[in-house]
Amino acid sequence: MAEASNLKRVLIVDDASTTRELLRRLLDAQGFQCTEATSGEQAVKAYHTQRPDLVTLDIHMDELSGMAVVQVLLKLDPKARIVIVTSETEKRILDQLFRMGVKDVVNKPFQAERFHEAIAHALE
């Protein structure tokens, strides 16, 4: 059994509690240590203090958008690993996210297998 210090830490950021709960269940089942943030502001604070191995992030949130969070996190840590989990399908926006440095985008609703592939890819 892995010690807590060896577990990969994931920060789950989404303003929808049902999405956070689903992502947590999927990540817990894979042995990740999860924390949650319900807003972009909370995400930035949590990243600054916790430095997780990976962030899952929604794009459409009130106040500080996911796009703005990506910019802040990558400025804070250019090696930040971010996987976007979103209902956004506009190619221009998704392309911009990849240019900014996100590792993968998973469109809602999604299959668990696709989510796990994105996480594995981001952690390579």
**Residue 40 burial (C-beta neighbours within 10 Å; 0-12, 13-18, 19+):** buried
What CATH number corresponds to the domain at position 57? 3.40.50.2300
Instruction: Specify the number of domains making up the chain.
Output: 1
Nearest residue to 40 via CA among 2, 21, 75, 67: 67
Reported as a pLDDT band with limits 50, 70 and 90, residue 5 is very low
Q: How much is the mean pLDDT over the chain?
A: 92
The boundaries of the domain holding residue 57 are 4-122
- What is this structure's pTM? 0.92
pLDDT of 88-122, one tens digit each? 889 999 999 999 999 999 999 999 999 999 999 99
121 alpha-carbon distance from chain centroid: 13
